[in-house]
Each structure stands twice: as structure tokens, then as C-alpha cells.
Structure 1
């Protein structure tokens, strides 16, 4: 059997509500009018609704049009990571286009991302997105769509997931093989973030097609809501302690409030000893000291002064969410003329 050029990888669990719109968007791809061979690989992860019936209907549709359509799956749900791996396993494409069943492709998505990936086999390729309903998660969408090429690798601790949104991923198969696939620890695991970090750690590149190529649908049943923010936070904290803080012999934490204190309290003893101060803009905090207490050991673990942000010496670990203060924080940060990644890292 001839190998495909591009495999669309679709994990699905109880997706009957979304299947038709998703498949229609794949059927409208401009790449189907080229010589590139496209196939669709679906893993039905223990669905109990009409998912299998609808998939088989679309399998007939695509097969009649010369597009391969493979379906695998199991009776018991194993989670998103296992479903993605299962779909990749039955695919043959040189390139992989990841697609969530509740999202909709724009007609040129596959062609434009394939064109980008063809010239960079070491990159995860993303795209800009639009949201449905319109204006849902506006801060998140603006952040993801406006990141510069440099920030794709710099702001990897500032959100609930990767700087390239998982539903937009496209890559050469070797990218997937190098990481070894997604972790299969079941529902609630941020398998995309773990894969993303492992890709970077293996020397992988990041690239984004700066066009809106996907309608990213927001709804309460999305798999992303099964992932606890606490778990993501711990994964991000672990990585920043392994990949950033070892290069700093001292640092200041920007935010003397709850988020900053929580971060400092959670640091390893070695990194805790590198913290020299908190900095802030709150006049009620500046000039005072913060004592962080360990309830287990029943003692103060560190006592730190709170200084004005203009007095802080880099490097800075910044624990402030972006785009929440009508631009005031961003203006304050810009006024310091610091270099992101060298003089400061965002952790929020």
C-alpha cells in the first residue's frame, strides 16, 4: 500500500455532535486538489454515542473520493494521549496534522502548514486561531495569536498549555518519533504540554503560520477542562527549576502577593536560597518584609524584603498574568528595558 504524504490524526470520545462539521472542513481542504495524498486516521476512544456510526458514514464518503480513512479504537476509554498515539499508529503519512473533532479547519490549513513543515522537519508548526463562540477566552486567544517567533520559545511558562496551541499542530513524523509519542496516563493529564517540553528538550524547533487556520471551539465538554491547573503548574515549576534557575545565582520575584509567595514557598532549598527579594507596585507592601512560613516544619523558611519594581536587579522571575491591568504591568516591564529570557522569565 502506498504511503500517504499527510495523515490527519483525530482522537475522539463521544464526538457525535462535532463530527459532521469537522469532516466537512477536511473535505474542503485545498490540498485535495493537488497531487499530495491525504489520509485520515481516527481513534475512537471508547465512545458510547453515535460516534462509530457517523465515522463509518464519513469513511465511505472519503473512500469513494480516494482519501484513505482508517478507524481504530477500543471499548474502554484510555484518554487523549493514548487515543492520539493510537491514531498515529495506524497512519502512514510522512507528515502529521493533529485535529480535534470539535474544531474546524480553514480550507488552506493543511496545505499551508505542510508547506512550512516541508522546509523544517524539526519543527512543530502551529497557526493562529479564531474562537467559537466569538470572543470566548479573548485574553488567551490574543496571547496565542500575537506571540512573536522569539516568544514562542520564551513564554512557555505563562499559560495552561504550549505557546503553539495543540489543536493547530502539524509536523514531520520524525518530530513525533523523536519524542516517542504522548504519555498515556489517562484523563486529566496535560499530554500536550509534556510532549511540547520534551520536543524542546530534544532540540526541537517551533514555528507558526501567521494566519487563522483553525476555528478553535470553546465548550464545557472539551477535554482541556479535565486537566487540573494544579498539575500543569507543578509540571511548569519542575521544568523552570531544571532549565532556568540553575543558570541564576540570585533572582527577584516580581509579585509579593499570593502567586509570588506560593512560588517561592514551592522552590527547592537550593533555589529558595537564591531569592533576594520580592518586588511590587503596591505601596502597602513596599518597604515591608514577607515571612514565608512552612506549616509542616512549623517555622519561617525565608524572610524577604519587598522593593519597588524599579529597584529590582535582574534576573527577575515574574509571577503576574499578562493583559489583566489595562496595560499597566506591560508598560512597567517595558520601562526597565530588559531582555526576555535573559533578564526575566514570565511564570504565570
Structure 2
């Protein structure tokens, strides 16, 4: 790593060898190219490596670090302040604030505060426990200029290596089309939050993060709202972030039940509302749970369950015992080759040794039209 990273560009040259005068200097005081948005809560053990990586970005435009400390009880604020001089020497603007209330207000609140105090035309979201590679801001900035109405992500390196192996493989292997089609899976946003980069204009178009605090998946809620607003998704296909996994990560505070309801509601809103009939692929626990979670209108659209399990198929049907209807609904269970689409796939990806993918291919089904993954 270069011990002397390049200084940021701070002046506007009008081509005549001079700056733009007082008016342009005032404009530059009001805005920078990229603000790195960093919420902080009890992150002192991670911050030195995180901020060292910020310092070594090879982007030559103007940059700002905007930190909001969400009532940390360790020395996070002191650690960040200790980097101010080094960052400013390299041309960064640095804004650090926070609060010292008895309890933190949550990640959504801290992100919103960090954004509101920043001046960047583009926003690079950085978790305090992750490490950006030197080219991250430059490459995502370039991508954002080309895809101005899109949320920009990147591939990641997971640390410790081998942790959340399936999830990491999913993040890095999605195709551009799958960034849009696989937004309903249990993995969450297809462009993962620690890699987010977007214009301020796009951020304001979507709206602020939910500030409900602990247990609220503010990233998923923002992601869904972004899609509702008609924004796009794009991933830089290079690894630009070391994405740390540890037990204190805020994602562990969100319950599966909360995520499940949000996913079901979004699937019903975006997909099932457009279908007259459909088949649930999986007559097992996940498929039945999805059926029970649907609203009555969409339950009536379920043509059948399909499966490969002979025992489930031989039984012939699934009875919805919790239903208040009389007689209770009985949903047929058939072999997948005898089923009619479109399908909602309730089988986990990358867990069948390629059998699921092979079965879908043999039926010549197109993802995003003939089926969606919900697993």
C-alpha cells in the first residue's frame, strides 16, 4: 500500500491557468465530489484499519469523511478524531459529530445524520468495521456517472475467510439481471449495504433510512423503497471491500420473523399482484409457510405445490388446517414436471448440488418471467 497516497483535488481550473475566483471557491466550500458516510457505534477496535483504508483511496476528486457517533461508550470518537489531521493533510474534509444519550438511536438514525451533515454530490456508505480497497471510491464513482439512477455495489472479500460462504458466493456471483430478480430471497438486498454508493440526488429521491432503531432492517426497507421509486441496481465486478463478519454486527439484531414478513409483502406487491395463478415449488416447510403467509387473495391464486419428494407427491394434497374456511382448502401436490408455471421457488439456492438449477433449466424457464426465487 502506498504510504503517501495522492492528495485530493481541491481547486477548479477553468483552463486559463487560474482558479475560478471567489465565487467558485465558495461553491467548493459547499460541495465536494464524494462524501464517505460512516455511522459509528462502539467500533474503536475496527476504526484504525477502516480509516487507514479511507486515507489510501486513489480517487483524485474532492472527498469528505462524515462520521456520526451514535452514543458510543468506548473511545470510538477519540480514535476518529485522531485521524482528522492525517485526513485533512491529504485533502479530505472531515465532519465528526454525534450524541451522548444513554442509548443509541440506531443505524438508520446515525446514517441519516451523517448524510445530512455531509456535502458530497455522491455518497459512499462505509461501515466502521469494514475495509475499503484503494480503488473503491474511484471505480464506484465512475460507475455512478454512467448509471446515475442506480444504486452501485461491488464484489466483496469476506473476513474471516470462509465465513458465510454461501452468502458471499451469492453476493459475488449474481448476474446483472439477477440483481433485480433475486431481491425476494432471505439473503436480503442483492447489492449489499456495506458496498452502497449513489448520488445524493438518488438518495433524496428514495428518502431517509427508517429510524426505528434496534431490530429494524433499515437497509432492506430503503432497498425496497429504492426499487419502488424505479431506481436501478449495478455492481462493479471487482472486489472493492473487505466485509467483516462478527457476532456484534447489527444485522444479528433483526429477527427472521421481521425479515420474512417484509419479504412476503414485497413479493405480493411486486410479483403476485401481476399473476392470475401460480405454483409454489416446494411442498415442504418453506413452501407451506409461504402459502400460510399470503393474503387470502393470493392464497386462492395458488394452483398447486410441486416437488420431487415422492412421499409428498403420493399424499396428493396439502390441507390448510389453520383456515377458517369450510371445507378447509386442499392444495394439490404434484411432480414438478407436471406443474404449470409461473413458479415461486421456495428451495434454497446452492443447497441441492445443482439439482434445482438443472430441473429449472430442463423446463426451459426464464428467471424473472417464469419464476422468482423466494428462499
Q: Could you say which TM-score interval applies, normalised by the shorter chain?
A: over 0.9
2:67 paired residue number: 42
Q: How many Å apart are 1:179 and its aligned residue?
A: 1.0
Contiguous gaps of at least 5 residues in structure 1: none
Q: Is the 8 A contact 1:293 1:299 kept in 2?
A: no
1:24 paired residue number: 52
CA distances 1:62-81 after superposition (whole Å, capped 9, x unpaired): 12332111112111311000
Contiguous gaps of at least 5 residues in structure 2: 1-28
The residue matched to 2:321 in structure 1 has which SS? strand
- In 1: Cα distance, 2:327 partner to 2:229 partner: 39
- In 2: Cα distance, 1:301 partner to 1:107 partner: 60
1:67 matched to 2:95: no
Q: Which has the larger radius of gyration?
A: 2
Q: How many Å apart are 1:61 and its aligned residue?
A: 2.0
In structure 1, which of residues 42, 47, 54 is the aligned counterpart of residue 79 of structure 2?
A: 54
The correspondence of residues 162-311 of structure 1 with structure 2, limited to 5 A, is: 162-287=189-314, 288-294=316-322, 297=324, 301-311=328-338
- In 1: Cα distance, 2:36 partner to 2:327 partner: 54
CA distances 1:58-99 after superposition (whole Å, capped 9, x unpaired): 122212332111112111311000010010011000000000
- In 2: Cα distance, 1:6 partner to 1:311 partner: 54
TM-score, normalisation: structure 1: 0.96
- In 2: Cα distance, 1:179 partner to 1:304 partner: 40
1:112 matched to 2:133: no
Q: How many Å apart are 1:298 and its aligned residue?
A: 8.7
1:83 matched to 2:83: no
Q: How many Å apart are 1:140 and its aligned residue?
A: 0.5
In structure 2, which of residues 22, 36, 59 is the aligned counterpart of residue 8 of structure 1?
A: 36
Decide whether aligned partners of structure 1 residues 299 and 185 sit closer, same or farther in structure 2, where only a CA change above 3 A counts: farther
1:152 paired residue number: 179
Q: Is the 8 A contact 2:158 2:244 kept in 1?
A: yes
Q: Which runs of 4+ in 1 moved over 3 A?
A: 297-301
**RMSD between aligned residues:** 1.2
- In 2: Cα distance, 1:211 partner to 1:301 partner: 52
CA distances 1:239-292 after superposition (whole Å, capped 9, x unpaired): 111111111111111110111001101111111111111100001111321101
> May I ask how many residue pairs the two structures share in their alignment?
344
